[in-house]
Homo-oligomer: A and B are copies of this chain.
Amino acid sequence: MIKSLLSETSRTMKSSMIRELVASTRDIPGLISFAGGFPSPKTFPKDTLSKLYADVVATEGAGVLQYGASEGDNFLKKELLAWEGYDLPLDQMLITVGATNAIYYMTKALVDPGDVVICEAPSFLGSLVAFEALGADLQGIPLDLEGLDINKLQAKVDELTKAGKKVKMIYTIPDFHNPAGLTMSYARRKALIEYALAMDIPILEDNPYSRLRFSGEALPTLFRIAHDEYHNTEIVTEIVSFSKILGPGMRLAFVKGSEVLIERMCSWQQKVNVTPDCVSQRVAAHFLKEGYMNPHLSMVCDFYRPYLERMLAAMSQYLPPYIQYSKPEGGIFTWLWLPEDMNADLLFEQAKKHKVTFIPGSKFYPSGQEKHNCLRLNFSFSSLEQIDTGIAALGSLMHEFYA
């Protein structure tokens, strides 16, 4: 009975197909998985958090167990601004139930069904399914090694505008891109901001990974560049997730951006969640206030560095020379470009038989814009030995492909 009553969108919307892929490998004994995007539980500061949860509930329980403000805990907001070094009014900031939640609100605030959202191709699948479920016309722009290709962006926006479409936002992951493992160059960041300012197109900067840099020089975020160099805090809306820097189970992210947009996003938060978990918000605030965050991040980077190094070494050793791959200095993913005639969806099925899994690249493109000769590897979840064995097995399969 209920089936015939479902709303149009709910009948047709896609799920994250990664779930089904991962489910299809779940029962393989001894499986080596490069598929997930989960942080290592070994990086969770559980003793510190255990103590902070206990203290916060015992001493501030009357407040944190009560309803909180829809815009988020002001105590947490102030700690975040101090940590990041911004002097912004609190109403340019919103706390949300993780980054996906913020992306959802931003889309609700800006996008009517049929409006265009520009994304990178490939991009984070979780965002793409949310954009599509809200009726966005999702247009992917290719990446080169410096990030989003601005010439192709301009050409696409011109074409869409001529066709009468409204381009409502540009969604980008500049640091340690998921899935491509790339970091946008400084020049490209400036070019993107200047283009967005000239065209009045808001940028949504998704930043889950910038603090996971294991080597090399950090680049300023788009929000930072817009703030410092263009004195603009409206063109870029930056979302920072706590999922990779504290623990995804706490479901927290924070957003900085235009007051108008934050106010509308907050109005959606009232209707969708009322407020994020107030206990976890206050715990995160104390984690910052008591100075735990920066040493914790050093520990996390020290923890992941050998895994990335082993992954890069194994790829160099075992993959055929015609396989290209990104060489990130942080984050949790790398990306392989395969020869045109090598299909990663088929490779996925073969690899499964050899007890190795990854996500085929085709899953990271807007519907109808898929590429099949690419794949994503995660290096934050397997052991060093598994990385070696798994990449060796993948390399053999690729060698066999042309044998």
Whether A274 contacts B126 by the Cβ 8 Å rule is yes
What total of chain A residues lie within 8 Å of the partner, measured CB to CB?
Answer: 79
* A370 on the B face (CB < 8 A): no
Q: Is residue A260 contacting chain B, with contact meaning CB distance below 8 A? A: yes
Residues of B within 8 A of A110 (CB): 5-7, 10
Interface on chain A toward B: helix, strand, loop, or mixed SS?
helix
Q: Does A177 contact B (CB under 8 A)?
A: no
The answer to whether the Cβ of A47 comes within 8 Å of any Cβ in the partner chain is yes
Q: For A8, give the chain B residue with the smallest CB separation.
A: B112
Contact B38 A46 (CB under 8 A): no
Is A392's beta carbon under 8 Å from chain B?
no
Are A15 and B250 also in contact (CB < 8 A) when A5-B110, A8-B112 are? Answer: no
Residues of B within 8 A of A384 (CB): none
Inter-chain contacts of A57 with B (CB < 8 A): 46, 49-50, 53
| Residue A26 lies at the interface, judged by CB distance under 8 Å to chain B | no
Q: Judging by beta carbons under 8 Å apart, are A251 and B277 in contact?
A: yes
Of A65-73, A143-151, A208-216, A292-300, the one with at least 4 CB within 8 A of chain B: A65-73
Complex Cα gap A301–B367 (Å):
53
A279 touches B249 (CB 8 A): yes
A260-B3 in contact (CB<8A)? yes
B274 touches A277 (CB 8 A): no
Which residues of A are in contact with B by a Cβ distance under 8 Å?
A: 1-3, 5-10, 13, 15-16, 38-39, 41-42, 44, 46-47, 49-51, 53-55, 57-58, 61-68, 97-98, 100-101, 104, 108-112, 115, 126, 129-130, 133, 166, 168, 200, 202, 234, 243, 246-251, 258, 260-261, 264, 267-268, 270-280
